[in-house]
């Protein structure tokens, strides 16, 4: 029989797995330009200038694509807010 602490930890890991799985799927559905910028900046840790150089676009375009990507993700992932609240005790 699992102890309460172990059960809580297990549930948190399940919630984390679900959140990251849905987030990854939502990122994959972003428009191509947004997805490229999002992946370079948030997964590869590039700053706006480096991402702009890599993609051969302006820094302003990088900023705009990041903003657009965040807006799309926020809209598409609204149903995850209760999971965030459970996971982070909000």
3-class SS letters over the chain? CCCHHHHHHHHHHHHHHHHHHHHHHHHHCCCHHHHHHHHHHHHCCCCHHHHHHHHCCCHHHHHHHHHHHHHHHHHHCHHHHHHHHHHHCC
The confidence score (pLDDT) of residue 79 equals 81
Number of structural domains the chain divides into: 1
CATH of the domain at 77: 1.10.10.10
What proportion of the chain, given as a percentage, has pLDDT over 90? 51
Q: Which residue has the higher pLDDT, 77 or 33?
A: 33
> Residue 65 is part of which domain span?
4-88
Question: Could you read off the pLDDT of 9-49 as tens digits, one per residue?
Answer: 888 788 788 888 888 899 999 999 999 999 999 999 999 99
């Amino acid at each position: 029989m699992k102890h309460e602490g172990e059960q809580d930890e297990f549930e948190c890991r399940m919630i984390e797995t679900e959140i990251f799985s849905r987030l990854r799927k939502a990122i994959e559905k972003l428009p191509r330009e947004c997805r490229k910028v999002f992946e370079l900046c948030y997964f590869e840790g590039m700053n706006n200038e480096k991402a702009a150089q890599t993609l051969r676009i302006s820094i302003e375009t990088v900023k705009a694509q990041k903003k657009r990507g965040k807006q799309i993700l926020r809209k598409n992932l609204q149903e995850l807010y209760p999971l965030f609240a459970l996971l982070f005790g909000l």
